């Protein structure tokens, strides 16, 4: 590989391959769980796509992105995919879980009917994004773990 190719590939580390070994990847694997680092969106530094079918496999935490950029600049492209775990990339332990395992619900102001959800929102759990829906159940025992009386359902995007 020439030096020019290296620079194009490595900064930022878009196109690097990772071996996904997060809880979600064991639960719901996609092909051989090899993902390619893709461009990010909004507050996400970079996305992950299945190297075989291109399916979105979640987001790379910022610390993971910085780790990849750093080692790519120092050592060049690795031929072996680097392993990404829930809180670890390669041999580096990630502490920043600011955007992971959290979500937000908003009141649904345009309910289409009595049975439509009262709250809507989104959450990221182990790097996988979910739509969330909440229903208030007045006078009934609370189901699930939504705050207050009600139930909450998460649907994978
Ligand atoms: Zn796939």
- Check residue 144 and give its pLDDT: 43
Residue 16: is its pLDDT beyond 80? Answer: yes
Share of residues in the chain with pLDDT > 90 (%): 29
Classified as helix, coil or strand, 156 is strand
Q: What is the mean pLDDT of residues 4-23?
A: 72
DSSP state of 59: E
For residue 56, report the distance from its CA to the centre of ligand 1, in Å: 9
Cα–ligand 1 centroid distance for 150 (angstroms): 36
How far apart (Å, rounded) are the C-alpha atoms in residues 118 and 111?
Answer: 7
Residues near ion ligand 1 (Cβ under 5 Å): 30-31, 50, 52-53, 55
**Ligand 1 mean position, distance from CA 141 (Å):** 41
Q: Where are the domains of the chain?
A: 3-93, 102-156
- What is the pLDDT at residue 8? 45
Distance from the alpha carbon of residue 133 to the mean position of ligand 1, in angstroms: 27
Q: What is the mean pLDDT of residues 76-97?
A: 83
Q: What is the mean pLDDT of residues 125-151?
A: 62
DSSP 74-106: HH---SSPEEEETTEETTEEP---TTSSEEEEE
| Torsion region of 135: left, alpha or beta (phi above 0 gives left; psi -120 to 50 gives alpha) | beta
CA of 52 to the centre of ligand 1 (A): 5
The predicted-structure confidence for 104-128, as pLDDT tens digits, reads as follows: 777 888 888 888 888 888 777 766 7
Going from the Cα of 85 to the center of ligand 1, the distance in angstroms, rounded, reads 18
């Amino acid at each position: 590989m020439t030096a020019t190719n290296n620079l194009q590939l490595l900064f930022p580390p878009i196109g690097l391959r990772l071996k996904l070994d997060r809880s979600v990847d064991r639960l719901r694997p996609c092909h051989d769980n090899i993902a390619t680092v893709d461009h990010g969106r909004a507050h996400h530094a970079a996305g992950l796509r299945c190297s075989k079918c291109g399916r979105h496999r979640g987001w790379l935490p910022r610390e993971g992105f910085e780790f990849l950029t750093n080692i790519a600049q120092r050592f060049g492209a690795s031929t072996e995919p680097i392993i990404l775990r829930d809180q670890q990339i390669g041999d580096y332990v990630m502490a920043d879980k600011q955007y992971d395992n959290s979500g937000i619900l908003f009141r649904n102001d345009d309910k289409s009917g009595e049975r439509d959800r009262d709250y809507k929102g989104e959450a990221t759990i182990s790097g996988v994004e979910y739509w969330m829906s909440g229903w208030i159940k007045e006078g009934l025992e609370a189901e699930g773990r939504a705050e207050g009386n009600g139930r909450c359902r998460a649907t994978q995007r």
